[in-house]
């Protein structure tokens, strides 16, 4: 590499030339600015103060004349004092004016004439003011005219001197500009010559390199450009850039591959949780994305065998199902302790895989094979198998994709295990509730029958205390029966076994029947029960009896928790595509800390328990369950001590 043909040398020459030019231009600019500044400073410090002093003394003379005339007309002492002050100011300004005339280098004849005329006028004015003879107004007027004339001559002289200073300032400026212009032309010439030299060595070779890069297609090597006339580093840069482009194309393909695999694996969780062949479709997506021939997912059945969850084979064969017939002692422990098991060819399969799996690979003609354990924590729950029938080197992006799929599959298997356990528990709970409720109904029916016989006197006359005791027993039997009925209804609703006759009907009808049924109860409790409904029908689709049961629970609760003298308003209103069945009471209300648990089974508000108001804590739960089963919901608003408003919202069917 020639030292004279390097980028550093070319730029060094250009920088040196530009630095010298900039330095010379800066020096010339500073010199010009100093000269101009000196001219401006002299003008400002000499001519301007002289002109100001001249004007100030002319104003003083005007003030003295005005005060003098006013005194002559009015004979007031104030005007006389002003006159005397103006005279004193003028006399104080005389030496200042002479000093500034000298500083400006001017002839002082005009200034002497102005001062002499002014002194003469003051002499005449003083005589007139003092009342002496020989001073008349006409003479002072003529003398002031001479003062004005001599001052005009002085002002003209000052103006001429100022113009001379300006001409000299302009000459200095024009000279500086001309000098700067010549220097600029010289600098431009030198700069252009050096820039052209740098252009030939740097810019044009770089432009040629840019054209080669612009014609470059992604993934292809750069076209080599002849840069023999360029700087040595530019030529070396072209060669290095060609290698870099090739490397970048490879990295870009790798990034795109990783991104494609990431998108591919992102769709796997939804497939794994789908019904009807979701595992098979997930295996197909993974196999096609990885370019494999067969993919399968297996769940560990025991310590030695697996159960097939899903499979895919590019040829349509059933290879993946064969794995479940292979028994490998300690396979669960092996999967838990081995992060991944993979082979790129047959020889590696024979060396790395257990004998049973190596034999299977030979039978199926597998070359590349990767087994990834499905682990949840430290527990192995299954295995992901990805295989090819040609040698295949598994790159890091493919292994990461397998790891993500294995993680999704492991979580899905564990979730399915938990869901199955929860479904079994829920089914057992429902069966237990249904069996227990049915078993309780039989003895309760017998108890109710014998109570009725006792009350009717079939076993002899009863005393009043006995009648009251049997009445208490009868009420508690009714409460137990209601509780059992509520439990059975909730069990049927939860399990989907409730008899649901979905019909299109007017929801106002059920509200009217509930109001009619509860009217006697409300009158007995001295509670005003009122029904407010829209005039037009409000059609809904669903089980009319369940709707009526939900509305009845709301209204009966409101009447039960409202003290005597209160009111309950049941209102049905259509709001857009919804019907709002609102039950508002003026009862005891619900404490704020209890509202979040109101829709929990068997939960009752604390003030209801303290007031010994009977109930099971299932009424609102039944209302909510019925509403959600029909696509609706329940809203509640309550203030303790003021009342409660519960709204049942259901969709309208037009």
The span from the CA of 207 to the CA of 374, in Å, is 56
Q: What are the tens digits of pLDDT across the range 225-264?
A: 555 565 566 666 666 665 665 565 566 666 766 666 667 6
Q: Is the separation of the CB atoms in 644 and 561 below 8 Å?
A: yes
User: In terms of C-beta density within 10 A (0-12 exposed, 13-18 middle, 19 or more buried), how is residue 427 classed?
Assistant: exposed
Q: Give the bridge partners for 380, in sequence order.
A: 375
User: DSSP class of residue 224?
Assistant: P
Torsion sign (Cα): 21, 26, 27, 33: positive
Spell out the alpha helix ranges (H) of 43-108: 48-74, 77-103
Q: What are the tens digits of pLDDT across the range 316-366?
A: 655 544 555 555 555 556 655 566 677 888 888 778 777 777 777 777 777
pLDDT of residue 553: 83
pLDDT of residue 365: 76
pLDDT of residue 468: 75
pLDDT of residue 412: 78
What is the phi/psi pair of residue 69, to 5°?
Answer: -65, -40
What is the phi/psi pair of residue 408, to 5°?
Answer: -60, -45
Does the pTM exceed 0.85?
no
Output the average pLDDT for the chain: 75
Given a cut of 70, the residues of the chain with pLDDT beneath it are 1-14, 31-32, 34-40, 42-43, 132-137, 194, 197-254, 256-262, 264, 274-277, 301-305, 316-340, 377-378, 416-442, 444, 446, 448, 450, 475-501, 602-604, 606-617
What is the phi/psi pair of residue 429, to 5°?
Answer: -65, -45
**What is the edge-to-edge ordering of all strands in the sheet holding 341-343?**
306-313, 294-300, 379-388, 368-376, 341-343
What is the phi/psi pair of residue 452, to 5°?
Answer: -65, -40
Kindly provide the residue ranges of all beta strands, DSSP E only, lying in 521-588, ordered along the sequence.
Answer: 528-533, 539-543, 567-575, 578-585
Distances (CA, A) of 140 to 61, 88, 252, 288, 627: 13, 18, 105, 122, 118
Q: Give the bridge partners for 375, in sequence order.
A: 380
The span from the CA of 21 to the CA of 104, in Å, is 40
What is the phi/psi pair of residue 291, to 5°?
Answer: 70, 30
pLDDT of residue 649: 92
User: In terms of C-beta density within 10 A (0-12 exposed, 13-18 middle, 19 or more buried), how is residue 579 classed?
Assistant: buried
pLDDT of residue 571: 92
pLDDT of residue 171: 78
The span from the CA of 416 to the CA of 272, in Å, is 10
pLDDT of residue 323: 58
pLDDT of residue 21: 73
User: DSSP class of residue 345?
Assistant: S
pLDDT of residue 134: 46
């Amino acid at each position: 590499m020639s030292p004279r043909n390097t980028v550093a040398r070319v730029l060094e020459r250009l920088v040196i030339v530009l630095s010298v030019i900039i330095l010379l231009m800066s020096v010339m600019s500073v010199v010009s600015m100093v000269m101009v500044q000196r001219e401006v400073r002299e003008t400002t410090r000499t001519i301007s103060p002289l002109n100001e002093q001249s004007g100030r003394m002319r104003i003083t003379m005007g003030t003295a004349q005005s005060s003098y005339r006013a005194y002559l007309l009015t004979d007031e002492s104030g005007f006389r004092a002003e006159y005397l002050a103006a005279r004193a100011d003028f006399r104080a300004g005389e030496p200042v004016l002479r000093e500034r005339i000298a500083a400006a280098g001017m002839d002082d004849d005009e200034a002497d004439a102005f001062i002499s005329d002014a002194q003469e006028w003051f002499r005449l004015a003083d005589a007139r003011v003092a009342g002496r003879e020989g001073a008349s107004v006409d003479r002072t007027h003529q003398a002031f005219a001479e003062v004005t004339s001599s001052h005009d001559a002085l002002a003209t002289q000052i103006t001429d001197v100022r113009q001379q200073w300006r001409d000299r300032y302009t000459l200095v400026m024009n000279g500086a500009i001309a000098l700067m212009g010549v220097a600029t032309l010289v600098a431009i010439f030198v700069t252009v010559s050096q820039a052209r030299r740098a252009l030939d060595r740097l810019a044009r070779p770089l432009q040629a390199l840019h054209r080669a890069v612009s014609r470059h297609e992604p993934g292809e090597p750069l076209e080599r450009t002849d840069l023999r006339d360029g700087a040595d580093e530019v030529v070396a840069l072209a060669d290095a850039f060609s290698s870099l482009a090739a490397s970048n194309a490879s990295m870009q393909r790798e990034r795109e591959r990783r991104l494609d695999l990431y998108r591919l694996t992102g769709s796997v969780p939804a497939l794994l949780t789908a019904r009807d062949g979701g595992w098979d479709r997930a295996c197909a997506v993974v196999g096609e994305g990885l370019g494999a021939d067969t993919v399968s997912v297996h769940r560990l059945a025991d310590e030695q065998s697996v159960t097939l969850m899903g499979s895919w084979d590019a040829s349509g064969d059933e290879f993946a199902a064969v794995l479940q017939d292979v028994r490998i002692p300690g396979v669960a422990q092996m999967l838990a302790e081995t992060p991944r098991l993979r082979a790129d060819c047959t020889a590696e399969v024979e060396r790395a895989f257990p004998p049973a799996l190596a034999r299977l690979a030979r039978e199926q003609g597998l070359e590349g094979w990767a087994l990834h354990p499905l682990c949840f924590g430290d527990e192995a729950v299954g295995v992901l198998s990805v295989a090819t029938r040609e040698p295949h080197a598994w790159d890091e992006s493919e292994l990461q994709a397998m790891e993500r799929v294995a993680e999704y599959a492991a979580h899905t298997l564990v979730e399915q295990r938990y869901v199955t356990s929860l479904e079994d528990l829920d089914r057992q709970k429902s069966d237990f509730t249904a069996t227990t409720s049915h078993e309780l109904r039989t003895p309760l029916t017998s108890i109710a029958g014998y109570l009725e016989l006792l009350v009717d006197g079939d076993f002899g006359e009863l005393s009043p205390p006995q009648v009251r005791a049997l009445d208490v027993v009868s009420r508690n039997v009714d409460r137990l029966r209601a509780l059992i009925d509520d439990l059975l209804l909730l069990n049927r609703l939860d399990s989907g076994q409730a008899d649901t006759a979905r019909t299109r009907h007017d929801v106002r009808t059920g509200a009217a029947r509930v109001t009619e049924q509860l009217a006697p109860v409300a009158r007995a409790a001295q509670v005003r029960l009122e029904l407010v409904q829209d005039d037009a029908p409000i059609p809904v689709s669903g089980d009319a009896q369940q709707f009526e049961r939900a509305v009845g629970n709301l209204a009966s609760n409101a009447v039960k928790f409202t003290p005597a003298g209160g009111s309950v308003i049941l209102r049905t209103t259509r709001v857009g595509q919804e019907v709002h069945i609102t039950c508002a009471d003026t009862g005891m209300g619900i404490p704020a800390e209890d509202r979040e648990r109101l829709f929990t089974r068997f939960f009752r508000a604390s003030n209801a328990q303290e007031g010994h108001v009977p109930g099971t804590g299932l009424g609102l739960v039944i209302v909510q369950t019925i509403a959600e089963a029909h696509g609706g919901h329940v809203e509640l608003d309550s203030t303790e001590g003021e009342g409660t408003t519960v709204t049942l919202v259901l969709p309208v069917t037009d």
